[in-house]
Amino acid sequence: MSAMTPKMIESINDQIRAELESAYIYLSMSAYLEDQGLKGMAHWMRKQAGEEMEHAEKFMNYLYERGARVVLEAIAKPATDFDGPAGVFKEALKHEQYVSGRIYKMMDLALTEKDHMTASMLKWFIDEQVEEESSADEIVKKLEFLGGSNASVYLLDKELGQR
């Protein structure tokens, strides 16, 4: 197996940090929603945080498989206040679009570095981001359509609690 370039290793380690930071962001969103009495939406965000942790572990395991070192970096304090449930999910969508951009840049680097193994692994993450963005976008559209009435937010909260 060919060795990974230092640039690629650094990029994946930085993505591990970003995935852990994403989990922290979603946990903060969950805490905010819980505080608002929206337990279903809070549950949805906790599940999202769990997925981000799994993504970090997937990147970590990939580095181990390639014989590279995992170096964990500090993560930033997440926002703790949001503009209601619609604001939370708009931020989640924006964040997923940001993560997609990061993954695309990693793919560009893998192709530039002729690291076909990493490019193959990143394909899974690109496909995953389609689902991540779509899921958040669907909830944003529902919240916009519902117009923020308490009854409709209550019903959506119950629906999201089923995740």
Q: Is residue 28 part of a domain?
A: yes
Distance of alpha carbon 51 from alpha carbon 133, whole angstroms:
13
pLDDT the model gives residue 163: 82
pLDDT the model gives residue 149: 81
Q: Is residue 107 part of a domain?
A: yes
What pLDDT tens digit does each residue of the chain (163 aa) get? 678 999 999 999 999 999 999 999 999 999 999 999 999 999 999 999 999 999 999 999 999 999 999 999 999 999 999 999 999 999 999 999 999 999 999 999 999 999 999 999 999 999 999 999 999 999 999 999 888 788 888 889 999 999 8
pLDDT the model gives residue 1: 63
Residue at 39: amino acid letter = K
- Domain that residue 26 falls in: 6-160
Q: Is residue 55 part of a domain?
A: yes
pLDDT the model gives residue 88: 97
Cβ neighbours of 12 (radius 10 Å): 24
pTM: 0.94
CATH number where 144 lies: 1.20.1260.10
Residue whose C-alpha is closest to residue 136's, from 29, 28, 32, 56: 29
Tally the domains of the chain. Answer: 1
Q: Is residue 149 part of a domain?
A: yes
pLDDT the model gives residue 148: 72
Q: Is residue 21 part of a domain?
A: yes
pLDDT the model gives residue 152: 85
Distance of alpha carbon 91 from alpha carbon 83, whole angstroms:
9
Distance of alpha carbon 90 from alpha carbon 137, whole angstroms:
8
Q: Is residue 1 part of a domain?
A: no
